[in-house]
Amino acid sequence: MKVAIAWLSDVKGQVQLASSTGTEFHPAYAHTPVTEGNVIRTAMGRAEVEFEDNSSVRLGPYSLVEFPRLELLPSGARASNVSVLKGTVYVSLIPVYIVKTKGNDFQLMFGQQLLHLQPSSHVRLELYATGARLAVLDGAGRVDGPFGAIELVKKRTFTFSFSGQPKPAVVKEVVANPMDAWDSSAVTFHQNNARSGKMGGNLFEPPLKP
């Protein structure tokens, strides 16, 4: 069943939306539904996509993200595939002790890598021309790629090279990013909303800094 509820919950600055890859972009506005195949890009702007369970995806400035799959499964679980093509993106999945999300499947794609995230996971992905840097802020998951499969551990940073490096380099720390405060406030906001049974836009509006 090709139905899943997601929407642009926060839009600030220059943000555009296209119905699919290769189609014309138009200015994006808060509360606009996000459906399967949609593409979102930012210039000097930021955007957040919220899912029905208060999980969320945030795009920093100069980012490009596609949503190739947003599907409600016959079981009632949701399957969400998000493809990062450019920029800095945060993903925070709501913890199962707040919302029952058993059976939900969330996958994050970048380059030739496929990232499977479990509930409660929280990551920051920075994608650039020659590789990517994945910071696991919380939770767990697995990344599949040309190198095989690697389990993710929180408070680790995985650096991927697109020029043939067989496995990602791993360091036991997470270096701060200037957008982390925005992300952290949004995570708290959505978890509080989920606890109270609310859904809706992110009221936190930080100053724009690339």
Domain boundaries, the chain: 6-195
Binning pLDDT at 50, 70 and 90, where does residue 3 land? low
User: For residues 169 and 157, what is the distance between their CA atoms, to the nearest angstrom?
Assistant: 8
The answer to whether 61 and 208 have CB atoms below 8 angstroms apart is yes
Q: For residue 16, how many C-alpha atoms fall within 13 Å in the half-sphere facing its CB?
A: 14
**Residue 53 clears pLDDT 50, i.e. is over it:** yes
Average pLDDT of the segment spanning 40-65: 95
Q: Rounding to the nearest 10 degrees, give the CA dihedral for residues 5, 135, 59, 69.
A: -40
Whole-number pLDDT of residue 94: 87
Which residue do the tokens 């995985």 mark? 158
The answer to whether 42 and 62 have CB atoms below 8 angstroms apart is yes
Whole-number pLDDT of residue 210: 40
User: For residues 26 and 8, what is the distance between their CA atoms, to the nearest angstrom?
Assistant: 14
The two tokens of residue 171 are: 């360091």
User: Does the structural domain 6-195 have CATH classification 2.60.120.1440?
Assistant: yes
Q: What separation in angstroms does the CA of 40 have from each of 15, 29, 69, 109, 121?
A: 7, 11, 14, 15, 22
The two tokens of residue 42 are: 């930012």
The answer to whether 49 and 7 have CB atoms below 8 angstroms apart is yes
Q: What is the SS3 string spanning 6-60? A: EEEEEEEEEEEEECCCCCCCEECCCCCECCCCCEEEEEEEEEEEEECCCCEEEEC
pLDDT digits (tens, 9 = 90+) for 63-116: 999 999 998 888 878 889 999 999 999 999 988 778 776 678 899 999 999 999
Average pLDDT of the segment spanning 41-57: 94
Task: Determine if the pTM surpasses 0.95.
Answer: no
Query: What are 205's strand-pairing partners?
Result: none
Burial class (CB in 10 A: 0-12, 13-18, 19+), 12: buried
The answer to whether 101 and 80 have CB atoms below 8 angstroms apart is no
